[in-house]
Amino acid sequence: MSSSPGLLSPTASSTLPRRRNGKPPSCEPCRRAKVSCDHTLPVCERCRRRKVVAKCVYLTAPMTRPVPDGRGRRLVLTPTMTAGSGEGGLDGAVVKGSERERESGSLSVREKERLSIDVSAAPRDLSHSTTGGLSVDAVSKPTPESGPFIKSGGFFGPTNFSAVFMENRENLGNDEIQISVDSDLHVPSYESLQSQTFLMLAGKQHCGSPRVALGIKVLNAMPDEHTCKFLLEWYFEKCHESSCPKHSVLALANSFWNSSFAGSFRKEPRVTDDLEHVSTLLCKNAESALQEFEDFDDWLASCSGQNFRWESLGSVYGALTTSILSLPERDAFFATQRGERRNRRDFAVEMKDCVQACITLSNYMDLINVPMVALLTKNFVLQTVLSGDASLVVWRQLGDLVSSSTALGLHRQIDTGRPPSYISETKKRLFTSIFCFDKGSALLTGRPPALSYRYTRFELPLDLSEEVLIQGGEVLQEAVAKLDENGWNQEGQIYSTTATRAHGMFSQVLNEVLELSLGDKDICTAENINYLMGRIQTIYNSLPSFYAFKLSDLGSPNCTDRMFWRRLCLRLIMLEHRLLLERLAHKEGFLSGQSMVDCAREMLELTVLLWVQRDRFTEHHHDYDWMLMCWGVPSSGVLIVELLKQVKAPHSTKLVLPRSEIVQNLSLLIGFLEWIKPAAGNYQLCGRMKLIIKKILDQILNPGPTPPLSSQGVTASSAMPSSQESRNASVNGLGGVGEFQNAGMGVGVNGSTVGFDNGSVGGGFEQQQQQVGFDNGGIDDGFDWLNNVDWSRGPWFDLGQDFSAARWS
């Protein structure tokens, strides 16, 4: 289906249909520039003066964008169809075209309503068809194979996930690669709860106020009790939560369904007056500040039951949204729902709408508290899944989240000497997660982070289970006493706090890595890079033994899928940070690049492992497109660039590239990219990368005739560096840490030998029997096909991002 904006067609009197507010519509250039349009047909005077006649079009729904799997429609018009000719004109053609497609059953009701043709553009854009008529292609969302791609909005710096391609554009056959900062935002036109929030003006009245009306919509969206129970059980058993303890969310949900007003939600249909009473109660509670209690029971009593707040309801909606997204797209659960809730994405967007509406309602009195910041964190995470991690709406929400956390003082946690409590550990866990998200977003986009370790004083949360935190008292103190001297549990369990604690340790180092990459070039020295590489390796080696990744654990009965997943993801995070430093050192000439290639090889190997073992990690499938962006694209980019260098100049490099292993993993990566669903936020990125990698593999695996080696003016022995040279290629004092050495060996996904079982990164690759040089016969075109790739559209993420979830920006 397609939901692209239709083009307005004037009536027989050559006038434009008016908008719902009674005013005539503006053309697109005037609307985007926010200037007055004279509404002249077929081209307004302003566009005529600015000589942008081709862009002067009037859209029926200019804020509408296509859905990810939209298909274009083609209408055939006869040459007699002209503007303003009634039944025989374009209006008639639109009606007849709609009737034909309605009879074929190929369009939904929404598509039928939006099907129309631009009359002003028709004389300029029509072309003769083979049937003697004139044809016009309706606007549709570009697929990865078609283009052109929608330009990205915003700046992308030197650490963004596609930077390796931009830095090596001379090797990719295009010297004019640049990151576009143009923005062509597309905002959904359909009705959302957020459209009501502009009415929320200050006032003392509750009943009948816009606030209560918005609250009624939010409350009415609550699924039935049976559905909530199923989703919350799935959330508790399968989903990872970093913003707040899952036990507290379940306690709030139980309080909601056991409260005195719960009967209002068990009625079918629900009565508006009952919902208005509940909305009024929650609005009144939101006007008072939430007191902090050290004990969980006291904290729960302050925001549940008759004290239930919008922040509490928002956390329940956040858990429901997470659960929906983690279910398989065709799970039988969705067949039990009604209407648009039978579609996973539509259901998730509706619940995400409610999360944002709860934030809006909670912000009415300009108060801030821990549940509110936790709700903002949850909202941010959900937005990354639905809109894509590099979207502008996500970046803005991150700014709001950081501002709220510092306003609450979470960035300055001073040791008061009190024993750990539920609220103190929740604050530590919450701000550590925010700090990690900030650094991850900065790394992904190449933009400066909003938080700096230089201006924060926060402690990592203790490695305690949620059950212990909830119980508190003596149970909590006994659990604290059993921790080791570094704050880790000694039971060998990986809790949610365990992962947050480990990620926080790496994020503090990543902050310094970003300073080298994004800051003053004078501090980017071999000594600083060597120091940070050592710190990353030291942190990884200092982790508890139960958190160490070993590929052999994949079939071990003592390692659950959840435990293996967390070990694998932490290993990839470490490699991601390491690869950034390796690229920086290679770019500055501090390292030969061999350790960078080895790091990228292991990173790519583990990334495709996520897909090969995808049946074990069903609840994480909605994060796979993000993982490809963070781990798959950078690692494959490094390897592709080096392969291209050797193809174009086989004997100009001494880097050891095991072609067989790399090609096998790139082939698996292609399958991974093809597997990503159109509803994913980074679907377009995956499609673009799939085409690039496939084309390069075709050139490498299907070369033409091989010229004599003697004609190259080099001997065979000179093409193969010795293993001693490959291991000792360190430059400027970066050996040992900069070049991987003496790592343990393991068996890779495709049977290759990789260093997974040791703390060091990517070392231990057997290089002696690998072929380095590539024959250049048949590839003398210099990869001219790369000139056909549209490099000017910014980084290779979903440049046609689906903002259908960004209703709240």
Q: Give a yes or no: residue 589 inside a domain.
A: no
- If asked whether residues 127 and 228 sit together in one domain, one would say no
Cα–Cα dist 800/389, whole Å? 13
* CB 226, CB 251: distance < 8 Å: no
Q: Give a yes or no: residue 495 inside a domain.
A: no
Q: Give a yes or no: residue 4 inside a domain.
A: no
**Phi, psi angle pair for 74, to nearest 5°:** -125, 125
Q: Give a yes or no: residue 85 inside a domain.
A: yes
- If asked whether residues 678 and 749 sit together in one domain, one would say yes
Among 10, 14, 44, which residue's Cα sits nearest to residue 30?
A: 44
Q: How far apart are the first and last CA of the chain?
A: 25
Half-sphere exposure of 140 (CA within 13 A, CB side): 17
* CB 41, CB 57: distance < 8 Å: no
Question: DSSP letter at 586?
Answer: H
Which domain covers residue 725, as residue numbers? 605-793
- If asked whether residues 363 and 280 sit together in one domain, one would say yes
- If asked whether residues 206 and 122 sit together in one domain, one would say no
Q: Give a yes or no: residue 769 inside a domain.
A: yes
Cα–Cα dist 12/14, whole Å? 5
Of 403, 424, 454, the position where a domain reaches its end is 403
- If asked whether residues 203 and 332 sit together in one domain, one would say yes
Cα–Cα dist 149/528, whole Å? 39
Take residue 78 and report the two structure tokens written for it: 């006869």
Q: What is the tally of structural domains in the chain?
A: 3
* CB 5, CB 28: distance < 8 Å: no
Of 122, 137, 152, the position where a domain reaches its end is 137
Cα–Cα dist 417/194, whole Å? 44
Cα–Cα dist 796/151, whole Å? 10
Q: What is the DSSP string of 278-338?
A: HHHHHHHHTTSPPPP-SSHHHHHHHTSGGG--HHHHHHHHHHHHHHHHHS-TT-GGGGGS-
Q: Within 446-525, where are the H helices?
A: 466-471, 473-481, 496-518
- If asked whether residues 196 and 325 sit together in one domain, one would say yes
Residue with tokens 């009625």: 267
Q: Torsion-angle region of residue 385: left (phi > 0), alpha (psi -120 to 50) or beta?
A: alpha
In sequence order, the β-bridge partners of residue 75 are 136
HEC readout, 119-176: CCCHHHHCEECCCCCEEEECCCCCCCCCCCCCCCCCCCCCCCCCHHHHHCHHHCCCCC
Cα–Cα dist 193/196, whole Å? 6
- If asked whether residues 244 and 362 sit together in one domain, one would say yes
Residue with tokens 């922040």: 311
Q: Which residues of 458-486 are buried (b: 16+ CB within 10 A; e: fewer)?
A: bbbbbbbbbebbbbbeeebeebbeeeeee
At 247, the amino acid letter reads H
- If asked whether residues 625 and 725 sit together in one domain, one would say yes
Cα–Cα dist 644/699, whole Å? 10
Burial class (CB in 10 A: 0-12, 13-18, 19+), 684: buried
Of 137, 156, 175, the position where a domain reaches its end is 137
- Give the CA radius of gyration of the chain: 29
Residue with tokens 């929320």: 200
Q: Is 403 helix (H, G, I), strand (E, B) or coil?
A: helix
At 220, the amino acid letter reads N
Name the percent of the chain in helix, strand, coil, to the closest 5: 55, 0, 45
Q: Give a yes or no: residue 748 inside a domain.
A: yes
Q: Give a yes or no: residue 617 inside a domain.
A: yes
Cα–Cα dist 46/64, whole Å? 24
Mean pLDDT of successive 10-residue stretches along the chain, which has 809 residues: 49 62 84 84 86 83 56 35 37 36 39 36 36 36 35 56 57 43 35 42 56 94 96 94 92 95 91 94 92 92 94 97 94 94 94 95 89 96 88 91 95 84 95 96 91 90 94 94 94 94 96 91 92 97 95 88 95 96 92 94 96 92 90 90 82 84 92 88 77 78 54 39 40 41 40 45 38 39 49 40 35
Residue with tokens 């698996």: 668
Q: Give a yes or no: residue 283 inside a domain.
A: yes
Q: Is 558 helix (H, G, I), strand (E, B) or coil?
A: coil
pLDDT at 12: 40
- If asked whether residues 92 and 229 sit together in one domain, one would say no
Among 421, 427, 424, 426, which residue's Cα sits nearest to residue 408?
A: 427
pLDDT at 162: 56
- If asked whether residues 277 and 381 sit together in one domain, one would say yes
- If asked whether residues 732 and 610 sit together in one domain, one would say yes
- Name residues whose C-beta falls within 8 Å of residue 352's C-beta, 6 or more positions apart in sequence: 317, 321, 379, 382, 383, 386, 805
- If asked whether residues 682 and 758 sit together in one domain, one would say yes
- Name residues whose C-beta falls within 8 Å of residue 36's C-beta, 6 or more positions apart in sequence: 26, 30
